[in-house]
Copies of this chain bind each other. A is one copy, B any other.
Amino acid sequence: MTFDPDEPLRAIGENRMVSRFRKLAGAALTPAVILGPGDDAAAIRPEPGRLLLVTCDMMVEQVHFRRDWATPEQIGWKAMAQNISDIAAMGGQPAAAVASLAAPSDLPSDVPEQIASGLIAAASEYGAALVGGDLVGSPGPLVIDVALTGWVEEDLMLRRRGARPGDAIVVTGMLGASAAGLGVLQHGIRDDRSPDIARALQAHHTPRPRVAEARAIAQSRLATAMMDLSDGLADDLPRLCAESGVGARVHCDRIPVDPVCRAFAAGIGKNALEMATTGGEDYELLLACPPSAVEALKAAVSARSDAPLTVIGEIVEGRSVTFLDAEGQPVSLGSGFDHFASR
């Protein structure tokens, strides 16, 4: 089956479009998939002795992505990657995803197909498969929702709850590259010779969730709590603390701010620390572990990844989460994105 990629969805029709999706997804199934797209439901062989994990994330055009900023493949990659990051943050292995797309009938038919390619590419990269979906018409913006299942050994599962006073607070990787990428897009910077700008855009469009690192951390049994940084440290750390019933003290000068974020923030006169802690979408891991376990944890991760692990503070008694500057004075950071708050 072939069709003109510029033809709108209304000319292709639902059935032909769905057939096309099935072909794409069917070519990239994993051995665990007993039954892929095309029936009432997909069927997957469970991993013996493991818990089933389930998560979902929805993306709306003009809210979460713009089609003049990102290619359809990048939009699909990111929709899948943020779900993969959630499964990783539980210590789990991603397995099978379903994706729903609401699309206006005048959308060129190659757009949903390329979104599907991006979804499948990200799933494949992390050992998962796209096993089904739904395609519906909509008068409104393009909406993509991905639900992802995964598996984790019950005794290795890492929740947000579990951090204890005295624990070290650790993050993987560097923070702020995605926020810098968004800033580049918002400022209309188009210098594609700059490797820094290319890296910032890549971090923003095609984030690489920390699956191998999270599995190594879970298998080490050294962490007490973990989550992924999707909204930014300033929003996410208070969530981990609230779930654990603890407070936290973060030493801002220890936060691994990505050099590309520092450079971009300097260029536009913004605060790099604030960008790195409130911009979100880094999909790095945030975890707690006893201070005595930090070196062993670093060794466990370094066997599988070159992502740095950085201690940025400590869990404390109480409920308050404070960010301190080099002199030990509290720093006020902005807050991340509220989907409904007036601003």
Interface residues of A (CB under 8 A from B): 8-10, 12-15, 17, 34-35, 38-46, 50-60, 62-64, 85-87, 89-90, 92, 96, 98-103, 105, 131-141, 143, 145, 147, 149-150, 152, 154, 157, 159-161, 227-228, 243, 338-342
Contact = CB atoms under 8 A, between A and B. Distances in A.
A229 to B, nearest CB: 11
Contacts of A35: 157, 159
Contacts of A145: 56, 58, 100, 134, 143, 145, 147
B132 A55 contact: yes
Contacts of A161: 39
A46 B46 contact: yes
B40 A96 contact: no
Contacts of A90: 39-41, 43
Contact of A149 (B54, B103, B135): B54
**Which of A9, A14, A136, A139 has the most chain B CB atoms closer than 10 A to its own CB?**
A136
A154 B141 CA distance: 40
B44 A52 contact: yes
A153 to B, nearest CB: 11
A129 B134 CA distance: 21
Q: How many copies does the complex hold?
A: 2
B45 A51 contact: yes
A63 B13 contact: no
7 contacts: A35-B157, A42-B53, A43-B51, A45-B51, A56-B99, A58-B102, A60-B102
A338 B41 contact: no
A152 B44 CA distance: 10
**Which of A9, A64, A339 has the most chain B CB atoms closer than 10 A to its own CB?**
A339
Given A41-B53, A46-B50, A51-B44, A58 B96 contact: no
A215 to B, nearest CB: 14
Closest 8 CB pairs of A and B: A140-B140, A147-B147, A137-B339, A41-B55, A58-B100, A145-B145, A40-B89, A9-B340
A87 B40 CA distance: 7
A11 to B, nearest CB: 8
Nearest to A342: B10
A275 B40 CA distance: 23
A39 B160 contact: yes
A88 to B, nearest CB: 8
Contact of A54 (B42, B57, B63, B137): B42
**Which of A40, A55, A134, A136 has the most chain B CB atoms closer than 10 A to its own CB?**
A40
A31 to B, nearest CB: 14
Nearest to A32: B52
Contacts of A39: 90, 159-161, 227, 243
**Which of A17, A60, A138, A159 has the most chain B CB atoms closer than 10 A to its own CB?**
A138
Contacts of A44: 51-54
Nearest to A51: B43
A73 to B, nearest CB: 21
Contacts of A64: 136
Nearest to A105: B340
Nearest to A160: B39
